Each structure stands twice: as structure tokens, then as C-alpha cells.
Amino acid sequence: MSDAKYREVHPGVYLLHLPLPMKPTIVNVYLLRCGDEWVLVDTGMNTEDSRNALRSILAELGCAPAALRKIVCTHHHPDHFGASAFVKELTGAEVHLHPAEWERAKNFAPANRADEAVVFFRSVGIPIERFAHIPSPAEFWSGMYRPVEPDRALADGDVIRAGEREIEVVWTPGHSAGHCVLYLRREKLMIVGDHLLPKITPHVGYFPGGVADPLGDFLASQRKVQGFEVDEVLPAHGAVYRDHVHRANQLIQHHRYRMDVMVDIIRAHPATAYEIATQAFNFDHDAPLSYQFPATFETLAHLRHLLTLGRARPEVEDGVETWHAT
């Protein structure tokens, strides 16, 4: 036996703990036995430790690589889709992903940071001149992200049939534009990716070229999943849990509170998204870039939603966007 970690959370449904080289240090992926075939939900990151763990678990469960027929990914982020090329090569399985996710997967490929990105960083107030080097996506992820072009495009309401199982696709944009959760109606299980985590709030950020109101999408998606009858929630990070309706309400309230905090900040003094983020998320220029940038993008998502609610408005001067309370 290896030291690979997994457990059966429902008859024929296995939670696999795959290691990550950063926090959170584990991602949960799910392996479904469907009669003579198997389905893998998410792939983990493309690291040697993660690949070895997945190989070991497949062997221990008696899942021959050729028996794994479908790889269904909730979204394109490296800990969910990063090893998709490896798993496809190992098994020959069909890869399923929402088309909006494949389009965004290409964002991790550039070796050089685009000039447009630098303009965007400056426009939101990020003091990039303070940082010696901001790594490009390819530099940051290096070989840990090896995506493969999907064979099948996921769409809201699709039903994926595998053996005796029916896996319903529920489109839940917000954390990413094409994020999907998977619902097993007979089993009353919902595999939620990063949409509905039990202890932490998934990142919801605004990026140029993306959707206009990602936080609005995220809140609508939380209300959407509340309409499903679910006995157990299977998240990508954290423990399996119950009462998804309550957890969705907690996430909705959390973001309402964040918006109130940001309105209070700009009511006292108009500020850039970066300046607002330093107060709302309590960090300074010495904080890791891996914290500063996502916090700023998440602040932008809140400000964009406040704009739709008529509670905040931007003003642009010399290419820099300052936010004001209305």
C-alpha cells in the first residue's frame, strides 16, 4: 500500500486527496465507479507528487487507466485542470470542460506579461514600481500547469451518462466564468469544485476582458444551487459537509458585509481599488504578491457589483481609476 490518501464517501464515490505545492496544501478530486467505467472529477496540479498519488490510488482501487473513460473538470484553475494533459495521456479518457474555461486556460500560457496587463495594474492603483519583478503566468506556474484541449464542452443542464450514473451539469459562474458543479440526483450528492467551500470563501475577482460583474454572477449562482436537494456536499477544499443552503447563505452574507466595509472606506475618502484592498483585507506593500494581487482583484469585483447597485462609481484621471461612494 502507498501513502496516497483517499476514502469512499458514498458507495462507489471516492474522495482523493492530491498534494499541492502551496496553500491550501491539498485539493480534493473525486473518482466515481460507474459499473465497468470510471469518471474522474478534476485532476489536481501537474506535479510529480500529485501524479504519483493519482497513479497509486487508481492502482489500489483497481481502476485500470483504460477504464477511466471521462475526465470532468469543474473549472480551469491549475489545481483542478493542471494535470489534464497527463491524465488524458495516461488513460485516453474524454475531457469535459466548459468552453469559457478553456478560453481562460490560455491566460496561464504567456511567457511574457502583456503591456495591457501593466496598464491595468497601474489603473487600479497597484504600485508596480515597488516590486522588483512581477512573474508572468508561465513563470509562476512553470510545468505545474499542463492543460489539454477538451473533447466535450460542458453546458448548463447537460447530463453526462457513465454506466448506471447520471451526472447533471450545473453552471455556476462567479469564481470563474465557466465554473460548473456536478449533481448526482439519485445519490443527492453535489460535487462543488470551488463554488461552495465549507470553511474558506472562494476567490471572486474582476479582470479586464472578463465578465462585467463576476460577484453578481457568484451571488446568483449561490442562490441557484440552493434549489437542489442535496444530502452531502463534496468540495475541492475542506471536508465533506451537509446543509449547502446554510453555507450558501453564509457566503452571500459575507460578500454583503465586504461591500459595506468598502462603501465605508470610500465614503470617508475616494480611493483606488488597491488602496481600498489594503484596508479591507488588511495588508501593506510588504505582503506577498500572491496575496496583494488577488485581494485587489477581489476588491474590484465588489466595487463593480456596487456600481450595478448604484452604491459606488468610478472616476478616471490620468489613467488611474478612483472609486467614490454615491
Q: How many domains does the chain have?
A: 1
Q: CA–CA separation, 197 vs 177, rounded Å? A: 17
Domain-embedded: residue 211: yes
> Which single residue is written with the C-alpha cell 490560455?
106
Average pLDDT, the chain: 94
CB 201 within 8 A of CB 216: no
Provide the whole-model pTM.
Answer: 0.94
- pLDDT at residue 228 in the model: 98
Domain-embedded: residue 155: yes
Residue predicted with more confidence, 172 or 132: 172
Read off the C-alpha cell for 158: 447537460
Phi-psi region of 134 (alpha: psi -120 to 50; beta: other; left: phi over 0): beta
Instruction: For residue 154, give its domain range.
Output: 5-243
- Which CATH number characterizes residue 41's domain? 3.60.15.10
pLDDT band at 80, cuts 50/70/90? very high
Q: Outline where the chain has alpha helix (H).
A: 48-60, 78-81, 84-91, 99-105, 115-123, 137-141, 214-225, 244-268, 273-280, 289-308
Domain-embedded: residue 147: yes
pLDDT score of 115 more than 80 = no
At 232-287, the pLDDT tens digits run: 999 999 999 999 999 999 999 999 999 999 999 999 999 999 999 999 999 998 89
Domain-embedded: residue 9: yes
Domain-embedded: residue 82: yes
Domain-embedded: residue 167: yes
Domain-embedded: residue 90: yes
Domain-embedded: residue 295: no
pLDDT band at 1, cuts 50/70/90? very low
Please give the DSSP secondary-structure letter assigned to residue 202: P
Query: 257 Cβ partners below 8 Å, 6+ apart?
Result: none
At 2-54, the pLDDT tens digits run: 567 999 999 999 999 999 998 889 999 999 999 999 999 999 999 999 999 99
pLDDT score of 92 more than 80 = yes
